[in-house]
Structure 1
Amino acid sequence: MLIYPAIDLKDGVCVRLMHGRFDAVTRYDEQPAMRLATFVAEGAEWIHIVDLDGAEAGRATQHGLIGELVSAIDVCVQSGGGVRSADDVERLLDAGVHRVVIGSLAVTQPDSVLSWLDRFGADRITLALDVKIENDVPVPALKGWTESSGVDLWTALDRYPRGVAKHLLVTDVSRDGALTGPNLQLLSEIRLRRPDMVLQASGGVASLDDIAAIKSLGCNGAIVGRALYEGRFTLPDAIKAAA
């Protein structure tokens, strides 16, 4: 299982949100390039970079900075936030991003995203479904987690037949940035329903035990953010726990 250290960019600096709320921001690093270099020096094979300004605005705003970060160091990067068109996908790939993360549009415009999967290849796109649990049902949230999609997670995933999409990132918004542990029940059900997809777990990782639990479910990756920034464990220890 891979560990994806997270770099969430807002106003050009590294931050973390609590429960996906843009009014609950903790600033960590003024120089994201240094944080990126540290993660790579500590053994990261992949980095997860999010343009939070783009996610909030619904349009790409920090893709230039992301391109600078990617070109400055040799590491695989998946990145998204504000991706709204094939041109956005192409610009990020041309900038050196290895996989582009598609969020809201994966739910609201599946036909467009299916065409991008066909054009760019399933290995170059990660579907990112950020869910809120409503009456025990996982429902994808849209537009920087501010709106409900009105469809459940399983309906959204059914729009991507087996063999078409490969990479799936699921975040339980209620746990994101909260250090309360991952939603293992949700991850287990996703693994059961869509064993064909390469699953990245996100939201709530607070300990090495959480990483071990995610791995035990058969997940292929884990996004880790605040726990690393606040020293709950080190990245080398996380990588060892996931190995």
Structure 2
Amino acid sequence: MIIPAFDLINSLVVRLYQGNYSNKKEYNINLFSLLEEYKSKGIQTIHLVDLDGAQDSNNRQIEFFQKFLFYERFSVQVGGGIRTTKDISALLNLGVKRVVVSSSIIENKKRVKKWLNIYGPDSIVLALDVNITNNKKEIYVNGWQKKTNITLEEIIEYFLPSGLKHVLCTDISKDGTLLGPNIALYKEISRSFKNINFQASGGIGSLKDIISLKQTGVKSVIIGRSLLEKKFTVEEALKCWQKE
């Protein structure tokens, strides 16, 4: 499916270039009005990133999420600094459909495995941000500042016995560039792990990119900047996805 994405700082929609808080662009949009339009076109799921919470878990935008979930009738997945059981429970209790976990995947693997068992695989999305050298898909964490020497394949194999179902995979060299996604990456991992619902993210700049991603076997495409900057409409994106 097509999943529009919004990165939020103090309830405002922004984009960070390659995860850099000092390289930030703000978008002067009425998010609630925009989402009414998206709903009328057939969008079902929204991806929100709490950049305040990612920097400081005590500064999570809970009040905004309460308002958002009260007014908007989407399935919502939320990421950004999810590190504790308390974080996950608070968001799921608000009505968030899925919680997106990133750095904890590496730093606290046993705890993440426990979360999959407690909350169920449909409530947890593992966000794997990779930098690829000679086809080694190395995971980076902490806002892409820290390399882990652990590969995407190793992590997926570790969590498969716990019922892992949803993985959001980003090639960090592509994120925010609008230069096209890493088609070879998504084709390879979709073939290798047929039971995983992959969400592709990073580099999507044209309708052709959406068509190419659908052909790789990924289940969803996360689209941020290209929709915000009107490279194409959400209606056009949906038509491309459904047509393939």
TM-score using structure 2 length: 0.93
- In 2, Cα distance between the equivalents of 1:68 and 1:47? 15
Q: Does 1:218 align with 2:221?
A: no
Contact 2:46–2:77 (CA under 8 A) maintained in structure 1: yes
Query: Which residues in structure 2 correspond to 1:72-221 (within 5 Å)?
Result: 72-162=71-161, 164-221=163-220
CA drift of 1:200 comes to 0.6
Secondary structure, in 3 states, of the residue corresponding to 1:14?
Answer: strand
- In 1, Cα distance between the equivalents of 2:126 and 2:81? 13
CA drift of 1:121 comes to 0.8
CA drift of 1:59 comes to 5.8
- In 2, Cα distance between the equivalents of 1:72 and 1:141? 35
CA drift of 1:224 comes to 0.5
| Range moving further from structure 2, 200-209 or 155-164 | 155-164
Contact 1:60–1:82 (CA under 8 A) maintained in structure 2: no
Q: What is the aligned length?
A: 242
Unaligned runs of 5+ in 1: none
Q: Does 1:15 align with 2:14?
A: yes
Q: Residue 106 and residue 160 in structure 1: after superposition, are their counterparts in 2 closer, same or farther (change >3 A)?
A: same
Unaligned runs of 5+ in 2: none
- In 2, Cα distance between the equivalents of 1:238 and 1:163? 34
Secondary structure, in 3 states, of the residue corresponding to 2:129?
Answer: strand
Q: Residue 86 and residue 60 in structure 1: after superposition, are their counterparts in 2 closer, same or farther (change >3 A)?
A: farther
Contact 1:8–1:14 (CA under 8 A) maintained in structure 2: yes
| Range moving further from structure 2, 37-46 or 167-176 | 37-46
Query: RMSD between aligned alpha carbons?
Result: 1.7
TM-score using structure 1 length: 0.93
CA drift of 1:35 comes to 3.4
